[in-house]
Structure 1
């Protein structure tokens, strides 16, 4: 290999604290800046990179062999790749799967995503677990040949994830509708909901459509007037990237929804925004939860679910409850789910208004599917709300609890 070829194929990962890892270029070449985080899933790399919750993040895949099944259009969770950069140990030399349409390397190049391969991802992961998620940069091609102190200066001058307002950046520009599908229901449209896209994954409205729900997907800038015009039975807040403390518009909208006693369900970022709407705070985790094997306990049933998660922030709510919501008018709230690894709040359940949320992903592509019952719980809540005539004083904790059948 010539000296020029070595330069063009070289790449370096520079962490905020000065730690560097050298490898070779993967995907596009150039500079990628973002927050370095690690994802522990052994499968589902295409779903990972197309998850909008990873916007402005450099994702380290802890699984050593990445790209072996290629990529295809059906498994993408959104309209594009959202990771700011991609870090792998052993990139597959060629894909081997009947559904593959192109290699992961080709897809990264086509979408201009800069990556690095041939680095010790286990060492990087251990470093991030000890020091916490931090700003970083991937520099490849000619950029990798620059002095490290110059590269580090670019990293430390980049934006932090704390204080980042990203939901509007990844959301849609105009609304669309996902009609009920023919799978798993009796043919009638049971309910319609407004799903506010804060970084929604395509599998989420599919899971609702399978249950006979018409899903109106709205931009992150949606207003109460937009929702009222649709005359929906419920409101859903999706997952998404960024600091929940910056989502003033979405928190204000959610408080209006809760005041109208419209049934509400939120996941991931939506869970954090429900927490803030109720008056609780949020905080940044040391290195977050990103994987498909996170154990969570449902505190009502004692059942442990293995869950898919991708979040760097969490709700600061008391585990001993129920407690009165700090924001007046919303009654009592309790922490319904908790992470068994670190006691992080994984779910909120309102006892006097029809609202609940979880921090993880019940749609879970590429799995697991332990939490799929939560979509049924949302439908049960809307059915209960319709049966009571949506009167505010008629909502109680029974509307929010899962049936034993849903847990079976």
Structure 2
């Protein structure tokens, strides 16, 4: 068939424009097994023996020329265009009227459908690239940076065509990751934890379905979407009021029925942490607590505090923003005992992070204009009003002060659609 097609092409009178299009497409198909030429693809120009492209096709911008022909041939008709169409028929190129629609269906949409079929969900990681040579995937999708493409689709939802939006809706495309995680992972995870353990006091280190010594925590006991979820870490973030605040308010009644107590931090602060800091100051005369300090079993300390890793807790309050709401409300008490907190921690946990979350919830994407300033209105948190959020997102320099907090909340930030290089931030912070 291919030999016959080449004879047919060589025997036909070729129009000046698109003269080598069919020949180049035939070679492309022989090498790749499909006709989905990338828009930027150019035929190699070298004259080496390894170059199997006919001389008249070398240097041809095949992707651009193919797109131009399809667009032109759908709006105009001429003997030359009909001749090219016959040549394309001879090499098996399909009769396509909308090249972009064809590419969308055969590449991006096909890749998304295959990902869901293989992985069972639509949470494509930012770094995911379709493996080359994997026969589970359609050949036109091999090498596609699908994670990047998914992020582009989320950012540009308003500019997508109606058929693209409908196609994505039909396959369960996740537009807002944070909402999906709450509805499909976190809430089902909390419900199942309550069923298994009879309460919702999830240890911070708890990961769903990892087995180990806990016979209840086997994979079979958890929904597939929840398996591997760091439920304890998420619960910690929720109780610290630094994540999912909109959904906590929305589902507050069910959380209450599950026995999920948002005030655990407040109770622990008032009964354990603050008294421990005050006791340290009473005994030592200051609050410069070494990280390695553990409350000794001595009469000078309340017995309920014995064995407490106070140094580690104090470090996390200062550097990571733990108990930031409690620190905020008891700031004068802490000032009286000389406990100096990291103001950046409070500003991050109570200002910038909630503002980033709110922007995504309001606008459905993380594409914040560089000049955007948080408005003083609902639903923006009061502490974020007036923040130059656009400048913070657009430039590395304003973020360098928060490098540690960005690193801690990296997974949550990437769920929202913010991808910042840890190395770049730390390098700037070190040289500032």
TM-score by length of 2: 0.26
Q: Of Structure 1 and Structure 2, which has the larger fraction of its residues in strand?
A: 1
Q: Larger Rg: 1 or 2?
A: 2
Higher RCO (C-alpha under 8 Å, 6+ residues apart): 1
TM-score by length of 1: 0.27
Q: Of Structure 1 and Structure 2, which has the larger fraction of its residues in helix?
A: 2
